[in-house]
Structure 1
Amino acid sequence: MGWNILIVEDEDWAFVGLKEMLIDLYGDSTLTFTNAKEIQEAVTVINKHHFDLIFMDIHLMDGLSFEIFKQVSVEVPLIFTTAYEQYALEAFQHQGYAYLLKPFDVDELVQTMKRIELLLPKAEVRLKQRFLVKYGNFLKSLAIADIAYFMAEDKELYAVEKGSGVAYIIEDSLVHLVTQVDPFAFFQINRKFLIRIDSIQSMLKISRNRIKLELIPPTPKGIDVVVSEERSPNFQRWLDQ
């Protein structure tokens, strides 16, 4: 089962950009997209088709998208998108589950989708069991059970092996990896690290919402591992589940 997604958006660049970000997260085969550019067009497709999720720009070429709700009832998760912050309150009054500002931020979209996923039908996202990695000219199939953490550094992404500490290059992105690993075992603590829970050797609170970690195997000299402020609350909940 995949997700049928409606994107109510009159700007082509915004529609294509959001679509590509979602495909990067979940894969092309699990998602179906429909685009509506105007209020009446959106009303028509919502009445005609079932959608699992709706992204809705507030400013459309023929008015504010809030007019849509005067003609049709929306009973599925709804995420408003806009370049203007002043509509946030009205968006939530129309039962919006989230409010994304343009230009879209990948991390913000990932965090929003993690909350929304609980409300959606289960998409066919198969967790990875192994990764094809490389070390110099050598290739290796590295089991997910043997990976301590993933690290982005110097425009490369590395899978760091338990025990040996060898950092293998992997052809992927952290944003995509988050959707392919067990969320109970792995957590993305910042833009550079996706860590396994049993790779944490120690934790030190260095400010109100920042936590410094020591990992096993240790990271290269000069590379600190710090949970970002915005991810710290979810990280602490993850540790306590």
Structure 2
Amino acid sequence: MRWKILIVEDEDWAFVGLKEMLTALYGESELIFTNAKEVQEAVMTINRNQFDLIFMDIHLMDGLSFEIFKQVSIDVPLIFTTAYEQYALEAFQNKGYAYLLKPFDSDELAEIMKRIEPLLPNVEPRLKQRFLVKYGNFLKSLAIADIAYFMAEDKELYAVEKGSGIAYIIEDTITHLVSQVDPTVFFQINRKFLVRIDAIQSMLKISRNRIKLELMPSTPEGIVVIVSEERSPKFQKWLDQ
């Protein structure tokens, strides 16, 4: 099933940017976008169509988008977008599910979408088969099957290759990667590591909710891999599925 998304936004750069970020998360073939730039245009569009998700800027060409709610009833997840934090309370009073500040941040959007997905029709995220990575000045297309784990360190994100242990730089974020890999194969154990199941060499429980991992290939000297307390229960369920 494809998601029908309405973006009520009068700035072209914001509409295009939001569209590109969502497409990167789910794939172009899974999303249908509609744009409305004014209050009355949005009212007519909502009355004539059925949407699965609505993004709504607060400041529009002909007024505040809160005027829309006086004319139509919205019963699908609604995310307000704006550059002004002072409208947050009114946004939530108008059944806003989330509040996304401009300029848009892809990590923040990914987190919001992760919370909203259970409320939407089932759509399988597009899983990546390979990543463009670099090592020094050399570029390589690295297959997902050849990646043991992803590691964030020193403001860089690395894809560590099976066997060789080479850490290639990848232009992405851990948060974004989670939606692009098979969740039965990879698990985000903390803010810095997304690991493949068969890269886990050994596990040691060091406290009630903390688990130390040894990975293969080994991590650089001095880097200890710990499953965070917050993620530990889900990690153990993941191991037992």
Report the TM-score range of the alignment, normalised by the length of the smaller protein: 0.7 to 0.9
CA contact (8 A) 1:80 1:99 kept: yes
The whole-number CA distance in structure 2 between the counterparts of 1:108 and 1:227 is 22
One-letter code aligned to 1:66: F
Q: Secondary structure at the match of 1:47?
A: helix
Task: After TM superposition, list the pairs within 5 Å mapping 1:123-162 onto structure 2.
Answer: 123-127=123-127, 131=130, 144=145, 147-152=147-152, 157-161=158-162
* TM-score, normalisation: structure 1: 0.76
The Cα of 1:133 is off from its aligned counterpart by: 7.9
How many residues align? The count is: 227
- Rounded to whole Å, the distance in 2 between the matches of 1:85 and 1:227 is 34
TM-score with structure 2 setting the length: 0.76
Equivalent AA in structure 2 for residue 70 of structure 1: K
Candidates 208, 218, 238, aligned match of 2:234: 238
Counterpart contact for 1:187–1:195, Cα < 8 Å: yes
User: Identity of aligned pairs, percent?
Assistant: 59
What is the deviation of 1:156?
Answer: 6.1
Q: Spell out, residue by residue over 1:173-228, the C-alpha distance to the aligned partner (whole angstroms, 9 max, x if none).
A: 345532232335433432x53224673735768xxxxx795441231125465778
Instruction: For structure 1, list consecutive stretches of 5 or more residues without a partner in the other structure.
Output: 206-210
Whole-Å separation in 2 of the counterparts to 1:58 and 1:116 = 20
- Is the contact made by 2:27 and 2:126 (CA closer than 8 Å) also made in structure 1? no
Alignment of 1:1-241 (within 5 A): 1-127=1-127, 131=130, 144=145, 147-152=147-152, 157-161=158-162, 164=163, 166-167=165-166, 169=168, 173-174=172-173, 176-188=176-188, 189-190=190-191, 192-196=192-196, 199=200, 201-202=203-204, 214-217=213-216, 218-223=218-223, 233=230, 235-236=231-232, 238-239=234-235, 241=237
Pairwise CA RMSD: 3.4
User: CA–CA distance in 1 between the matches of 2:187 and 2:141?
Assistant: 24
SS at structure 2 position matched to 1:76: coil
Q: Confirm or deny: 8 A CA contact 2:157 2:171 kept in the other structure.
A: no
Alpha carbons of 1:32 and 1:59: their partners in 2 closer, same or farther (altered >3 Å)? Answer: same
Shift of 1:41: 0.9
SS at match of 1:149: strand
Amino acid at match of 1:71: Q
**Partner residue in 2 for 1:208:** none
The answer for unaligned runs of 5 or more in structure 2 is none
Residue 109 (structure 1) shift: 1.0
